[in-house]
Amino acid sequence: MKKLLSLLLVCMCAFSAMALEKTFTASPDLVNGTVDGFTFLAQKNNGQTAPQYVASGSDVRIYAKGSYTITNNSGTNMTNIVFNISAQGKKRLAAISCNAGAVATQAVGDETVTWNGASQTVTFTVGDQAVYGSDGESKAGQLDFSSLVITYEDGGTITIPAPTFNPAGGTFYAPVNVEITGATGATFYYTTDGNDPTTSSAVYSAPINISQNTTLKAIAVTEDATSPVATATYTFESVNSVPNIAAYYALGVGAFAAISNPVTVYYSNGNYVWVKDDTGYLLIFGRNAGNMHYENGDIIPGGFGGYLKEYNGLLEMSYNGDQDLFGFQEATAGPAVDPEIVTTAAVVEANFGHYVTIENATISDISSKNFTINDAAGTAAGFNQYSGITIPNDGATYNITGVISVFSKDNVTTYQLQPTAFEKVVNLDDLPKVDNIAGLLATEQGTDVMFNNPVTAVYHSGNQLYIKDNSGFMLVYGHLDNSYNNGDQLNGIAGNWTIYNGMTEMLPIASTFGEATPGTPVEPELITIEEIDQSMIHNYLRMENCTITATESDARNFTLTDETGEIIMRLNFSEVTIGEDFDYDATYNVEGFLAYYKKSDGTVEQLQFYPNLIEKVGGSDVVPGDVNGDGQVTATDVTLLYNIILSGDYTGAVNYDQNNDGSVTSADVTLVYNAMLGTSK
């Protein structure tokens, strides 16, 4: 009997030795990466929030309906997975389902979620709602964990997955830059001649520009393993070209073509760009067009194109799958397009696409984005399509400028005005006068006044214009027909003030913001974070030798830290981005504006910093022309800046706005090119 017990004990020990266990602490690699022979991939369900690594809480968070896949690359089965739920996760834990066996019962407040089974790959799916607590409170579900423990069988061989290409192979009509991603810490080797890559092949270090028919192959190599070969084929076809907008429409929905002649922009807002020529009007929708920052009057050179699609009854040039907008170049400035003066009776099919102003109109029946325009001729439908446009609800009379568009649903077609600006009808000669910003703020809220003295533009981005005079700084918020650079002098501006999210801002009478006179640029005030206080709202500030870390709020919020303290830094301007390749270990000098954020329910009240410049500290001074921050100026910097202009993708760039004018254009490319050659202009 003793021998039998001893034998059983030996067998149990031998069996237990075959099971291994690893603990993984939350990191970005656990969202999408390979760690210690395991690959992790968190994915969102369409329309839901993307999963993320929450730096401040050191959690991985997969939102409702998202999935989480774990693969053991050694080829053996995993037998037990335990998620250690974070503090936030205990409040929103959802029912978790699995493709490879049952998951232990969960409820709000649980410390762990456990799976038992036998599988090399396990995919977890997050429920829509949190499993209700005793109070029955309804909350969106999520799986939010700080670490996980995997038990798996020994005896396998470590493998790593094949790399992936972005964009994947397919048919293209313009050159593409292909990124290669894969196992964390791997080196990627690739070929473009159809041969399988080896460790003697080209090493991937930057996106690969492909402009002709190419078979791209790649492998991922680590110290422990070499991946299978990934293959993608890129085929380029010639694009049908038509001379004008009318000919483009004549091709029919589904056509993918270029317009060979130039067109003129008459309105642009983000990804929406309305253009015209002698034959008609066209909406261009897509990030490539929006990121060119076209303005009213700009003439876009011919050779651009895209997919002709129908959206809610509206024909537009857009993108479809791999068929992206293409060929958009920097525009030539031309005379501004003036809107036609019409009445509500003109909001009909015959005037589709026209840029118009309805004068002396009132607004009624406001419901979300829909409203009714009333004038002496009757009524017309309005729809507030564009960002930064606010429907006034004060009963006053307005001149309403916009584009006549169409909406179709359930076989009902409605022609409507999509407003681009509301201008209150006022007699400028009767406006009270003030000397400066302090004088404006001394008036009653909502009272229109005119400035006696000029103000200086500091920074202009979209609907946000920061100004300064001898009494302080101010944010002017609203659509303006002109754009301004730092130092521009504005005379005779008018408007009133209001409070938004705890901040005082000026609402402009747009017609008084005319052409500016160039002046001396405003320099930011050098300050430390501990010196910041609420009296500096909208001030132009500079902080040096700071570190930047991600926060849990969203992809636009970061923590900015210097030796004296920290503050939330929010990416508020479209020109300023932080890409996936951002160097969080470096230090930065930042310039921008202080803001105050207060939710309408009063739950959040905090100071924030909106940067308009993030400048990597490279030794002492940033090298002029060094777009990627590697300390030297090469053709890589020129290519990176050119790709930003074409695609709007700022990944890998830290010093892109070379002339500090608030946008990225060919002028910046010229400065980088001259820096590379050792010349200047």
Nearest to 244 by CA among 217, 230, 262: 262
pLDDT digits 0-9 by tens, 402-457: 999 999 888 889 999 999 999 888 888 889 999 999 999 999 998 999 999 999 99
452 pairs with which residues across the strands?
Answer: none
Is the pLDDT at 265 greater than 70, yes or no? yes
Buried b (16+ CB within 10 A) or exposed e, 358-377: bbebebeeeeeeebbbbbee
H/E stretch holding 90? helix 89-92
- Lookup: tokens for 516: 């500016």
Q: Which contacts (CB < 8 Å, 24+ apart) does range 559-564 have?
A: 559/56, 560/529, 560/590, 560/609, 561/529, 562/528, 562/529, 563/528, 564/528, 564/529, 564/530, 564/531
Please state, in angstroms and rounded to a whole number, the distance separating the CA atoms of residues 67 and 44: 6
H/E stretch holding 489? strand 489-490
Please state, in angstroms and rounded to a whole number, the distance separating the CA atoms of residues 451 and 440: 8
Model pLDDT, residue 325 = 86
What's the chain's average pLDDT?
Answer: 86
DSSP annotation of 103 reads B
Lowest mean pLDDT among 199-208, 532-541, 612-621: 612-621
Q: Where residue 557 falls among pLDDT bands split at 50, 70, 90?
A: confident
Residue 565 phi/psi, 5° resolution? 165, -165
Model pLDDT, residue 7 = 41
Q: Omega into 207 within 30° of 0, i.e. cis?
A: no
Strand spans (E) along 599-648: 605-616
DSSP helix/strand/coil, 241:
strand
- Mean pLDDT, rounded, for 296-309: 92
Is the pLDDT at 514 greater than 60, yes or no? yes
- Mean pLDDT, rounded, for 35-42: 89
Lowest mean pLDDT among 49-53, 251-255, 544-548: 49-53
- Mean pLDDT, rounded, for 273-280: 96
pTM, two decimals, is: 0.51
Please state, in angstroms and rounded to a whole number, the distance separating the CA atoms of residues 9 and 535: 74
Residue 639 · residue 208 · CB < 8 Å: no
Q: Where residue 648 falls among pLDDT bands split at 50, 70, 90?
A: low
pLDDT digits 0-9 by tens, 593-644: 999 887 655 566 789 999 999 998 864 456 777 877 766 777 777 777 767 7
- Sign of the torsion angle spanned by Cα atoms 295, 297, 299, 304: positive
Strand spans (E) along 571-651: 588-598, 605-616
Sequence-ordered list of residues with C-beta below 8 angstroms from that of 377, at least 6 positions apart, any chain = 343, 344, 345
Nearest to 303 by CA among 322, 325, 287, 319: 325
pLDDT digits 0-9 by tens, 127-172: 888 876 444 456 778 899 999 999 998 877 777 888 999 888 887 7
Rg (CA), the chain: 29
Is the pLDDT at 8 greater than 50, yes or no? no
pLDDT digits 0-9 by tens, 345-371: 999 999 999 999 999 999 999 998 999
Q: Where residue 469 falls among pLDDT bands split at 50, 70, 90?
A: very high
pLDDT digits 0-9 by tens, 227-246: 999 999 998 888 889 999 99
Burial degree of 466 (CB within 10 A; 0-12, 13-18, 19+): buried
Helix 666-677 with 635-647: angle, nearest 10 deg: 180
Please state, in angstroms and rounded to a whole number, the distance separating the CA atoms of residues 314 and 408: 8
For residue 193, count other CB atoms closer than 10 A to its CB: 10
pLDDT digits 0-9 by tens, 568-587: 999 988 788 887 778 888 99
Q: What is the 3-state secondary structure (H, E, C) of 122-179?
A: EEEEEEEEECCCCCCCCCECEEEEEEEEEEEECCCCCCCCCCEEECCCEEECCCEEEE
Q: Where residue 326 falls among pLDDT bands split at 50, 70, 90?
A: confident
Is the pLDDT at 9 greater than 70, yes or no? no
Burial degree of 522 (CB within 10 A; 0-12, 13-18, 19+): middle
Q: Where residue 16 falls among pLDDT bands split at 50, 70, 90?
A: very low
Strands 187-191 and 202-203: antiparallel
259 pairs with which residues across the strands?
Answer: 242, 304
Give percent of the chain above pLDDT 70.
88
Angle at the Cα of 384 from the Cα atoms of 379 and 387, rounded to 5 degrees: 155
Is the pLDDT at 289 greater than 70, yes or no? no
Residue 543 · residue 590 · CB < 8 Å: yes
Is the pLDDT at 679 greater than 60, yes or no? no
Model pLDDT, residue 2 = 44
Please state, in angstroms and rounded to a whole number, the distance separating the CA atoms of residues 35 and 487: 51
Model pLDDT, residue 602 = 58
- Mean pLDDT, rounded, for 19-47: 86
- Of the segments 299-303, 328-332, 646-650, which one has the largest average pLDDT value? 299-303
Is the pLDDT at 1 greater than 60, yes or no? no
Is the pLDDT at 523 greater than 60, yes or no? yes
Please state, in angstroms and rounded to a whole number, the distance separating the CA atoms of residues 200 and 379: 72
Residue 219 phi/psi, 5° resolution? -130, 155
Lowest mean pLDDT among 65-69, 171-175, 189-193, 426-430: 171-175
Model pLDDT, residue 269 = 87
Model pLDDT, residue 623 = 72
Please state, in angstroms and rounded to a whole number, the distance separating the CA atoms of residues 401 and 550: 40
Q: Where residue 6 falls among pLDDT bands split at 50, 70, 90?
A: very low
Greatest pairwise CA separation for the chain in angstroms:
111
